[in-house]
């Protein structure tokens, strides 16, 4: 027998090995509570075959009480006062938000705080969607694949307020001098994350929604006009992607898609260059959402995740952004699309490469590559074989027309964009 609970220990928040069927009602109640409270995470319930075959009187508990598990939702009043006081004294303050803001459903409170305090904001990769990109306070994403203005602001800030962010190496870009000039205020519901990757002058353990509500209530507008002007100058240095003469510029394609999609659309990004093209150039506004597998590197994620998203929100337009490598790792999901009659838009960037790996190999080794995909199938014919619609585009006139056609389609529509094999991530 495989030790399932042991094998999954690094990936789950908690696990149960059920020994008595009579414990199942309590375990179900506790599992859902643990999964959804504090820092959300998966809970494994391993039910052996002999327990599965037992009969049990099922009565679902109304309350839950777990000894030793008591997440902190409200930040310590003293620490909150210290954090607000340090922010008010700052000359070059910056807010950095991560996925914890989204997990807490704190987007509204974040926007109220930022617009009242008038502090520039950056986000980690997992923080995409927490704040509208069109806001004058938004500087973009930090990290090795981040925006120039965002990384520049972190390097020059004298106070950085991190909210719901782990500040892992993808966010720091591996820079040993990350935020070296700044006093760090770190807000997170999981105390284990505070100080783990970067030291914090003022740690605040608490729920992002509750803490941001207090920040919005207690913080006064900051007089930091010179800093705001400097951040705006950095932001204006970020070039807008332009059409290329041959083949499709994927960055420009994502920008154009952003202009066409409605304000509650959902983009689900795969892994590789396509993930970063989408992360950097899909505009967050209104009720839009951006989903990804983060740094897990799970190629093939976007198609099944987009199907689940559409089933959960059938009224929204859902777009799966994927490369030719990742798409071929989840081809059987085309059958799921036909079976469920779910309608998606699949934006496939075909550069006949595992582009990000090719880019890294080219930069570090200048040697023959093992990531060429020169023998790709005809993706449009594959889609049609499953009864789906599709079109290959290689010009910008075709791109615009096909976006509209895909939105009007009654079935899933595959848009295959032919991309230069040497197209860069940034």
Q: Rounded to whole angstroms, what are the CA distances from 196 to 97, 107, 178, 199? A: 17, 25, 14, 7
Q: What is the Cα–Cα distance from 388 to 379, expressed in whole angstroms?
A: 11
Which helix H or strand E contains 268, and what residues bound it?
A: strand 266-269
Whole-model pTM: value is 0.91
**Is the distance from CB of 73 to CB of 189 less than 8 angstroms?**
yes
Q: Choose among 114, 213, 115, 119: nearest CA to 160.
A: 119
With respect to residue 286, please indicate whether it lies within any of the assigned structural domains: yes
Same domain, 219 and 276: no
pLDDT at residue 131 greater than cutoff 80: yes
pLDDT band at 175 (very low <50, low <70, confident <90, very high): confident
Q: How does pLDDT run across 83-128, given as a tens digit for each residue?
A: 999 999 999 999 999 999 999 999 999 999 999 999 999 999 999 9
Same domain, 228 and 300: no
With respect to residue 71, please indicate whether it lies within any of the assigned structural domains: no
Q: How does pLDDT run across 45-78, given as a tens digit for each residue?
A: 999 999 999 999 999 999 999 998 988 889 999 9
Q: What is the Cα–Cα distance from 206 to 18, expressed in whole angstroms?
A: 32
pLDDT at residue 368 greater than cutoff 80: no
With respect to residue 62, please indicate whether it lies within any of the assigned structural domains: no
Same domain, 125 and 150: yes
Same domain, 215 and 270: no
pLDDT band at 160 (very low <50, low <70, confident <90, very high): very high
Helix %, strand %, coil % for the chain, to 5? 40, 15, 45
> How many distinct structural domains can be found in the chain?
3
Same domain, 40 and 98: no
Q: Would you call 348 helix, strand, or coil by DSSP?
A: strand
Same domain, 261 and 407: yes
Mark which of 183, 201, 236 sits at the end of a domain. Answer: 236
Same domain, 216 and 259: no
Same domain, 280 and 353: yes
Mark which of 236, 259, 282 sits at the end of a domain. Answer: 236
Which residues are within 8 A (CB) of 299 and not within 5 positions of it... i.e. 6 or more apart? 270, 271, 272, 325, 326, 329
With respect to residue 338, please indicate whether it lies within any of the assigned structural domains: yes
Same domain, 294 and 404: yes
With respect to residue 33, please indicate whether it lies within any of the assigned structural domains: yes
Mark which of 236, 258, 279 sits at the end of a domain. Answer: 236
pLDDT at residue 255 greater than cutoff 90: yes
pLDDT at residue 246 greater than cutoff 90: no
Q: How does pLDDT run across 397-426, given as a tens digit for each residue?
A: 999 999 999 999 999 999 999 999 999 999
Q: First vs last Cα of the chain: how many Å apart?
A: 47
With respect to residue 65, please indicate whether it lies within any of the assigned structural domains: no
Task: State the pLDDT at residue 310.
Answer: 98
Return the ∠ at Cα 130 (arms to 85 and 307), rounded to 5°: 160
Same domain, 101 and 219: yes
Full residue range of the structural domain in which residue 42 is found: 4-52
**What does the DSSP assignment read for 126-180?**
GGTTSS-TTSTTEEEE-STTS-HHHHHHHHH-SEEEEES----HHHHTT-TTTTT
Q: What is the Cα–Cα distance from 416 to 350, expressed in whole angstroms?
A: 7
Q: What is the CATH number of the domain that holds 358?
A: 3.40.50.970
Residues forming beta bridges with residue 322, ordered by sequence position: 348
Same domain, 275 and 406: yes
pLDDT at residue 245 greater than cutoff 90: no
Retrieve residue 425's tokens.
């991530």
Q: What is the CATH number of the domain that holds 90?
A: 3.40.50.1220
**Is the distance from CB of 345 to CB of 319 less than 8 angstroms?**
yes
Task: State the pLDDT at residue 210.
Answer: 96
pLDDT at residue 27 greater than cutoff 80: yes
Task: State the pLDDT at residue 2.
Answer: 83
Q: How does pLDDT run across 329-349, given as a tens digit for each residue?
A: 999 999 999 999 999 999 999
Same domain, 339 and 373: yes
Q: Choose among 215, 213, 103: nearest CA to 164.
A: 103
With respect to residue 167, please indicate whether it lies within any of the assigned structural domains: yes
With respect to residue 82, please indicate whether it lies within any of the assigned structural domains: yes
């Amino acid at each position: 027998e495989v030790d399932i609970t042991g094998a999954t220990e690094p990936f789950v928040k908690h696990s149960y090995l059920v020994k008595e069927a009579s414990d199942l009602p309590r375990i179900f109640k506790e599992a859902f509570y643990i999964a959804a409270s504090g820092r959300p995470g998966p809970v494994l319930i391993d039910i052996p075959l002999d327990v599965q075959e037992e009969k049990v009187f099922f009565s679902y508990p109304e309350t839950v009480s777990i000894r030793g598990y008591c997440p902190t939702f409200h930040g310590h009043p003293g620490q909150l006062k210290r954090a607000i006081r340090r922010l008010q004294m700052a000359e070059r303050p910056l807010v950095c938000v991560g996925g914890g803001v989204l997990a807490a459903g704190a987007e509204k409170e974040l926007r109220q705080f930022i617009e009242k305090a008038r502090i520039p904001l950056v986000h980690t990769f997992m923080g995409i969607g927490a704040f509208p990109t069109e806001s004058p306070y938004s500087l973009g994403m930090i990290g090795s694949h981040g925006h120039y203005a965002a990384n520049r602001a972190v390097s020059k800030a004298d106070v950085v307020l991190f909210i719901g962010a782990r500040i892992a190496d993808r966010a720091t870009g591996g820079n040993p001098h990350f935020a070296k000039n700044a006093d760090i205020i770190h807000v997170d519901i999981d105390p284990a994350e505070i100080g783990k990757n970067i030291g914090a002058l003022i740690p605040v353990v608490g729920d992002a929604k509750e803490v941001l509500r207090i920040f919005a209530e207690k913080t006064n507008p900051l007089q930091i006009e010179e800093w705001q002007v400097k951040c705006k100058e950095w932001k204006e240095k970020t070039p807008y992607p332009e059409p290329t003469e041959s083949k499709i510029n994927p960055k420009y394609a994502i920008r154009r898609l952003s202009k066409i999609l409605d304000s509650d659309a959902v983009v689900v990004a795969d892994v590789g260059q396509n993930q970063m093209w989408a992360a950097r150039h899909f505009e967050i506004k209104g009720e839009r959402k951006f989903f990804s597998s983060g740094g897990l590197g799970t190629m093939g994620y976007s198609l099944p995740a987009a199907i689940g998203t559409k089933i959960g929100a059938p009224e929204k337009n859902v777009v799966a952004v994927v490369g030719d490598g990742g798409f071929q790792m989840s081809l059987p999901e085309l059958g799921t699309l036909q079976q469920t009659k779910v309608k998606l838009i699949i934006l496939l960037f075909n550069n006949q490469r595992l582009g990000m790996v090719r880019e890294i190999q080219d930069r570090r080794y200048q040697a023959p590559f093992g990531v060429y995909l020169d023998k790709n199938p005809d993706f449009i014919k594959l889609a049609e074989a499953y009864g789906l619609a599709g079109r290959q585009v290689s010009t910008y006139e075709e791109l615009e027309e096909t976006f509209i056609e895909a939105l009007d389609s009654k079935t899933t529509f595959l848009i295959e964009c032919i991309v230069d094999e040497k197209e860069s991530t940034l």
